[in-house]
A and B are shown apart, each in its own frame.
Chain A
């Protein structure tokens, strides 16, 4: 494959071969009956033997039996309903609150793997921030030929209003929700960097709480990394970017109760112990400071964790008819009198085209090799790549370069002839808008379904914090699971579920190598590989 990935490294991976190695012999429990092959499964190897980190869980399930598991799933569903963990779906324009879908079988990740992922995510977010800051200043990456000029100034996510602004520590994207996937060999990839208003962390925290109530006994068998410290780290990071000295006033800015992530906004405000404000609760006065409308008059706000999109943030600068924003807030931010997290304009670095340059961006700014893999990406603006894409549509996933949230994505292998013809036409008409990637067969995890425990495809969304004082990555992340057999769609709005994710002090499965391409050439190998 002639990939436009400049380094072209990713084709040369030596895949670890997974063999059916009956390591545990006659001790293997007969229940649950589970065979994920030919897919790569997170917890169970071919032949139905649990991976080392999942052994204790699997044995426990065998003791419990199917009836008890179903009961515990029902108890989890009841709890989620009672404590009001919801997400909003839109049906015919009307928002309906649905209970958060949760599968009680946790996904388990060995700590050795996690340390590599953690280092990789911090590396990636650090480099992306240097890139964003550069884009709004000297654009060295352009002048030195790392990325084409069009990638920056031609991007719909480039905000001219942000040019020359210096946010504290030069950090623009303080909170990143990355989407990680594993392929059918168990290799980890970054699929997306979400740098705008990524959501899901509240569900990650709630999933753990429910699991503690549903499987309290499992926490004796495992040493599981806690997820709760995230909130304290988030609070510290928010405080660290405050423009004022002394105790900063921090708020969470929500578009309002009808937003699909409102549950999370309220949850975070509550956990942080700060106010949850809407645009109308804030005002910018002539002194370029932001004030909140409190019962005691106007009170100055220092840090705004905003969950409103860039374009709705300030009707004076962006969409003039936005009722969600705060007139003058961009002025306040540019003058350094309030911190916005994430900063406006940060979304520049999370589109699909920038994604394809991330390995070079990492090398350029950090002078390091990327720790985590990026999926090889064809840019259709390039004539050779475009020809290759058009010839192989059926084997590729075609994505709009600037959209987020899975909109407009076409999976070639599942598309009709008509859809393929339309896609080809769209690519020819506006090649700039499109990228394509090979279809990755996502890994699976055991999931409680009607037919019992069955393999379902999963992805993983960890959250990374980056402030002037340092970085933090959640221990584990939000595992999303497609509940229909064979489906690769994990979005909760489209029937996806979720799982608690355990980073445990247990060895990785020797049968599969480390999942990061150890020994391959081209610099995609991990640093600090055990």
Chain B
């Protein structure tokens, strides 16, 4: 199999769900010819365009919920830290992958005496800032647009819940300006996203559309977990395990992934670098652990046609994660490992994209080619 030459898209670059060009496709993984489709015909089918819409809806919803949780936990943790010991608000920008966008936007406004980004600015930017295509509100908007496109293949209630969440988030935007209103706003986002997931789990057939949704959700989830680990551990390194606030930091890491309680039940140790990393990377039962996300993604790929290449990419990613030397990762090599995992995730996405969203069919030129 020849591999695609398409430039790797940054995993954080989800500003658009519109394909770059139709020419970016590979000529392997060509779906079967039309004349081979005869024989058993089913009257349910899933359009490539619909599959793409539900996949991105899954990713955007996950992104909105994940970002909301991270901001909320960071706000809580910030309160616990002594003045001067806190890590500021920049890490949030790094996790969301929007540090440079933020700098572009707010550099002039920054107070010269304080080089650190102001809490209000960072929060505003992450929640709904202009110029931040990955903000929570932007993710909700994109999820809503994609679900709107995909309405025929998802339960009506799920669309309504998403529309409702988008409306209430928009209506109450001003509320998020204060710390106390912010908590309420974020909770509403998290609860709203979970409501949508609940409706989908409880009322949607486990069909191909569902598989694409879960696939998008898990790829985004794994990506978010690696980015949280990357940024958080980075800020910990200088201190090491003797730091009295080490535990607080790792607890915040776990909490921002809703992982604290499951960690305590699963791991005998207190949250430290190695145990936290082992849990968040390799655990196969906690839904936000990278290993579990990959297992789930692969299970759904198996139910889809023509998924061999994507499955293989998924398996490669699993191997990278499983073979990680977690015991010494907290000391060194974590960034490199996380980079490898993220590349592997990009590769899975690329395979899915090539195979399902932008395939080349024999006997058919894209419509744009017709004069």
Interface residue ranges, A against B (CB under 8 Å): 81-84, 246-250, 252, 257, 266-267, 269-270, 273-281, 283, 285-287, 289, 291-300, 315-316, 320, 323, 326-327
Residue-wise, chain B 249-278 has the 8 Å CB interface mask toward A (1 for contact) of 000000000000000000000000000000
Instruction: From the candidates B46, B48, B367, name the one contacting A279 in the complex (CB within 8 A).
Output: B367
The contact sample of 23 A-B pairs, CB cut-off 8 A, is: A82-B163, A82-B167, A249-B41, A249-B43, A250-B43, A269-B152, A270-B152, A275-B46, A275-B47, A283-B367, A289-B34, A292-B45, A293-B49, A294-B45, A295-B47, A296-B31, A296-B46, A297-B32, A297-B305, A297-B359, A298-B31, A298-B34, A299-B41
Closest to A257 in B: B149
Instruction: From the candidates A252, A266, A297, name the one contacting B148 in the complex (CB within 8 A).
Output: A266
Whether B364 pairs with A300 at a CB distance below 8 angstroms is: no
Q: Bound state CA distance, A524 and B366, in angstroms?
A: 55
Residue-wise, chain B 130-154 has the 8 Å CB interface mask toward A (1 for contact) of 0000000000000000001101110
Whether B363 pairs with A299 at a CB distance below 8 angstroms is: no
Instruction: From the candidates B43, B151, B164, B370, name the one contacting A247 in the complex (CB within 8 A).
Output: B43
Q: Bound state CA distance, A266 and B50, in angstroms?
A: 12
Instruction: From the candidates A84, A275, A299, A316, name the one contacting B159 in the complex (CB within 8 A).
Output: A84
Whether A295 pairs with B208 at a CB distance below 8 angstroms is: yes
Question: Which residues from A are CB-within-8-Å of B148?
Answer: 84, 257, 266
Question: Which residues from B are CB-within-8-Å of A320?
Answer: 371
Question: Which residues from A are CB-within-8-Å of B167?
Answer: 81-82
Q: Is B283 an interface residue (CB 8 A)?
A: no
Cβ distance A201 to chain B, nearest Cβ, rounded Å: 16
Whether B41 pairs with A323 at a CB distance below 8 angstroms is: no
Whether B43 pairs with A293 at a CB distance below 8 angstroms is: no
Known: A280-B367, A323-B367. A84 touches B49 (CB 8 A): no
Question: Which residues from A are CB-within-8-Å of B106?
Answer: none
Instruction: From the candidates A273, A276, A295, name the one contacting B48 in the complex (CB within 8 A).
Output: A295
Question: Which residues from A are CB-within-8-Å of B43?
Answer: 247-250
Cβ distance A251 to chain B, nearest Cβ, rounded Å: 9
Question: Which residues from B are CB-within-8-Å of A296?
Answer: 31, 45-46, 305-306
Cβ distance B160 to chain A, nearest Cβ, rounded Å: 5
Whether B306 pairs with A281 at a CB distance below 8 angstroms is: no
Closest to A297 in B: B31
Whether B364 pairs with A283 at a CB distance below 8 angstroms is: yes
Q: Bound state CA distance, A457 and B212, in angstroms?
A: 49
Cβ distance A281 to chain B, nearest Cβ, rounded Å: 5
Whether B163 pairs with A83 at a CB distance below 8 angstroms is: yes
Q: Bound state CA distance, A250 and B41, in angstroms?
A: 13
Q: Bound state CA distance, A270 and B42, in angstroms?
A: 18
Whether A297 pairs with B33 at a CB distance below 8 angstroms is: yes
Q: Is B122 an interface residue (CB 8 A)?
A: no
Cβ distance B41 to chain A, nearest Cβ, rounded Å: 7
Cβ distance B210 to chain A, nearest Cβ, rounded Å: 13
Interface residue ranges, B against A (CB under 8 Å): 31-37, 41-43, 45-51, 148-149, 151-153, 156, 159-160, 163-164, 167, 208, 212, 304-306, 356, 359, 361, 363-364, 366-367, 370-371
Cβ distance A302 to chain B, nearest Cβ, rounded Å: 9
Cβ distance B357 to chain A, nearest Cβ, rounded Å: 9
Q: Bound state CA distance, A148 and B51, in angstroms?
A: 52
Q: Bound state CA distance, A276 and B149, in angstroms?
A: 9
Whether A298 pairs with B356 at a CB distance below 8 angstroms is: no
Most A CB atoms within 10 A — which of B45, B212, B305, B370?
Answer: B45
Q: Bound state CA distance, A320 and B371, in angstroms?
A: 7
Question: Which residues from A are CB-within-8-Å of B47?
Answer: 275, 277, 281, 292-295
Question: Which residues from A are CB-within-8-Å of B36?
Answer: 297
Closest to A324 in B: B367
Whether A281 pairs with B163 at a CB distance below 8 angstroms is: no
Cβ distance B56 to chain A, nearest Cβ, rounded Å: 14
Whether B46 pairs with A294 at a CB distance below 8 angstroms is: yes
Instruction: From the candidates B34, B35, B305, B364, name the one contacting A295 in the complex (CB within 8 A).
Output: B305
Question: Which residues from B are CB-within-8-Å of A246?
Answer: 41
Question: Which residues from A are CB-within-8-Å of B45?
Answer: 249, 275, 292, 294, 296, 299
Question: Which residues from B are CB-within-8-Å of A285?
Answer: 34, 363-364
Cβ distance B59 to chain A, nearest Cβ, rounded Å: 17
Instruction: From the candidates B32, B34, B41, B50, name the one contacting A275 in the complex (CB within 8 A).
Output: B50
Q: Bound state CA distance, A277 and B49, in angstroms?
A: 9
Question: Which residues from B are CB-within-8-Å of A326?
Answer: 367
Most B CB atoms within 10 A — which of A250, A277, A286, A298?
Answer: A298
Q: Bound state CA distance, A403 and B66, in angstroms?
A: 52
Cβ distance B8 to chain A, nearest Cβ, rounded Å: 23
Most A CB atoms within 10 A — which of B50, B208, B305?
Answer: B50
Closest to B163 in A: A84
Q: Bound state CA distance, A246 and B39, in angstroms?
A: 12
Question: Which residues from B are CB-within-8-Å of A283?
Answer: 361, 364, 367
Whether B163 pairs with A294 at a CB distance below 8 angstroms is: no
Known: A83-B160, A84-B159, A84-B163. A297 touches B37 (CB 8 A): yes
Whether A274 pairs with B306 at a CB distance below 8 angstroms is: no
Given A84-B159, A270-B156, A297-B34, 15 additional A-B pairs, CB 8 A: A82-B163, A249-B45, A266-B151, A270-B151, A273-B152, A279-B367, A283-B367, A287-B35, A293-B49, A293-B361, A297-B33, A297-B306, A297-B361, A298-B31, A300-B34
Closest to B366 in A: A280
